[in-house]
Amino acid sequence: MKNVIDGLNHWMNIVPKEFNRMSEVELSERPLPNKWSKKETLGHLCDSAINNLGRFINIQYEKQPYVIASYNQDQWAALQNYQKQSTEEILNLWCALNKQIIQVINKIPAEKLSYRCDLGNNEQKTLEWLIQDYLEHMEHHINNQLFK
Summarised one tens digit per residue, pLDDT across range 88-147 is 999 999 999 999 999 999 999 999 999 999 998 889 999 999 999 999 999 999 999 999
Number of domains in the chain: 1
Residue in 93, 54, 82 with CA at minimum distance from that of residue 70 = 54
Do 127 and 34 touch, CB atoms closer than 8 A? no
Q: State if pTM tops 0.85.
A: yes
Domain extent for 61: 2-146
3-class DSSP state of 118: strand
- C-alpha of 5 from chain center: 13
State residue 32 phi and psi, 5-degree precision: -145, 155
SS3 content of the chain, % helix, strand, coil (to 5): 70, 5, 25
pLDDT of residue 39: 96
pLDDT of residue 68: 95
Report CA-CA distances (Å) from 137 to 17, 82, 114, 141, 143: 20, 19, 20, 7, 10
pLDDT of residue 21: 96
State residue 58 phi and psi, 5-degree precision: -60, -40
Using CA atoms, how far apart are residues 41 and 138, in angstroms rounded to an integer? 10
**Confidence band, pLDDT 50/70/90 cuts, at residue 23:** very high
CATH number of the domain encompassing residue 33: 1.20.120.450
Does position 148 have pLDDT exceeding 80, yes or no?
Answer: no
